[in-house]
């Protein structure tokens, strides 16, 4: 099926091709092309080489249609479950406006169009779909995976060497940059940094303050620096943070390019980690091998229950065995043709119904207007 528009009376321009129909939704070639483009952009952001990008695409392209179908099936299930994420979307947009320093939604919408090529409404709809699908996955699959403490302890005892630690620390940051600022603005940075430290020590949420104040590139990752081993940091900073405990927040640290605040999220002492210290890590290791097959099993069930048609030449790599997804093109359906003789025969049959004997009697129904005798 194609979405078309007329150019001249005798000419039709193909604007878009529909490649799959999923319940009440469609997937188009533009959707597939955009998914491919996002994969490339993500890899470029991770500084992947052209060879790495091409190698990844070889595998990824086989599953692009599958992943789009998965998403629509989960979104459809979310609607069926009456899941609403409107409040989460409003909060996300409000946080994004703070983070990007946008005064109103009109300016934010312009930025979205420039960065994604999507309209603001399409962007919101995609975000809504993603949030709904995540909620369905948590409720229908993830929430039903149970890892017992006995299993965690068994894994720990069998893999103890994995949990021998070097001394390291997990950090987050807020940076008040002096680059490109006037002398008056630079003069006020230390006070702003001290105010934020005071708020953090009163247990205000670090991720909220990062988005509001930080000038660092890590702002979009909630200030996440990650695990740092001893010896990797500047000696001045290392002496501060390695003496701190979990959730410790430094005073503002003067740098050549501004003021830095660091928070200790977690730390590992040198030596064998205790079971209690690595329980969550072990559960994560055990979770994914269970989650993936159960997720595909759930998606296969959704496919079996769904209206799903896929155009010839396109492949769903997650197809449900035995499910007929053959494409039906309404333009190719032929109208039924009936002869005059068949019409007359049908009328005679209808009339004959009124003289069929009534079961259990010797009478018959002779017409609609006559009573039964």
Average pLDDT over residues 166-189: 89
Tokens of 261: 């605040």
Whole-number pLDDT of residue 103: 84
**Beta-carbon contacts of residue 294 (< 8 Å; ≥ 6 apart):** 141, 144, 145
Q: What is the pLDDT of residues 20-49, one digit of tens each?
A: 999 989 999 999 998 999 899 888 888 889
Average pLDDT over residues 233-258: 89
Whole-number pLDDT of residue 361: 45
Average pLDDT over residues 300-304: 97
**Is residue 283 scored above 90 in pLDDT?**
yes
Tokens of 209: 């303050």
CA distance 351 to 330: 35
CA distance 373 to 40: 82
**pLDDT band at residue 343 using 50, 70 and 90 as cut-offs:** very low
**Is residue 319 scored above 80 in pLDDT?**
yes
What is the pTM (predicted TM-score) of this model?
0.65
Exposed, middle or buried, 172 (CB in 10 Å: 0-12/13-18/19+)?
A: buried
| Average predicted confidence (pLDDT) for the chain | 84
Q: What is the pLDDT of residues 100-130, one digit of tens each?
A: 778 889 999 999 998 888 899 989 988 998 9
């Amino acid at each position: 099926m194609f979405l078309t528009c007329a150019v001249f009376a005798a000419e039709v321009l193909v604007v878009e091709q529909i490649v799959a129909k999923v319940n009440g939704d469609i997937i188009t070639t533009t959707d597939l092309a955009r998914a491919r483009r996002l994969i490339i952009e993500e890899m470029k952001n991770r500084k992947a080489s052209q060879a790495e990008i091409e190698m990844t695409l070889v595998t990824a392209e086989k599953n692009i249609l599958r992943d789009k179908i998965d998403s629509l099936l989960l979104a459809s299930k979310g609607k069926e479950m009456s899941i609403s994420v409107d409040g989460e979307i409003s909060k996300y947009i409000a946080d994004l406006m703070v983070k990007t320093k946008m005064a109103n939604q009109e300016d934010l919408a312009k930025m979205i169009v420039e960065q994604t090529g999507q309209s603001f409404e399409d962007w919101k709809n995609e975000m809504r779909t993603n949030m709904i699908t995540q909620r369905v996955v948590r409720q229908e699959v993830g929430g039903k995976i149970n890892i017992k403490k006995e299993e965690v302890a068994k894994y720990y005892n069998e893999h103890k060497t994995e949990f021998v630690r070097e001394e390291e620390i997990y950090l987050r940051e807020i940076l008040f940059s002096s680059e490109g600022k006037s002398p008056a603005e630079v003069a006020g940075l230390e006070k702003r940094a001290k105010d934020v430290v005071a708020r953090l020590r009163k247990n205000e949420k670090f991720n909220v303050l990062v988005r509001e104040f930080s000038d660092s590139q890590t702002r979009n990752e909630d200030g996440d620096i990650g695990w740092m081993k001893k010896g990797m940091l500047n000696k001045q900073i290392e002496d501060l943070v390695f003496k701190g405990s979990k959730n410790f927040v430094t005073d503002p640290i003067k740098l050549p390019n501004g003021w830095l605040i660091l928070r200790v999220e977690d730390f590992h002492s040198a030596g064998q980690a205790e079971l209690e210290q690595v329980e969550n890590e072990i559960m994560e290791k055990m979770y994914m091998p269970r989650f993936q097959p159960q997720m595909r099993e759930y998606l296969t069930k959704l496919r079996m229950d769904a209206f799903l048609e896929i155009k010839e030449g396109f492949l769903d790599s997650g197809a449900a065995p035995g499910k007929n997804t053959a494409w039906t093109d309404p333009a190719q359906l032929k109208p039924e043709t009936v002869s005059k003789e068949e019409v007359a025969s049908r009328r005679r049959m209808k009339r004959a119904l009124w003289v069929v004997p009534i079961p259990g009697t010797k009478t018959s129904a002779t017409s609609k207007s006559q009573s039964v005798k």
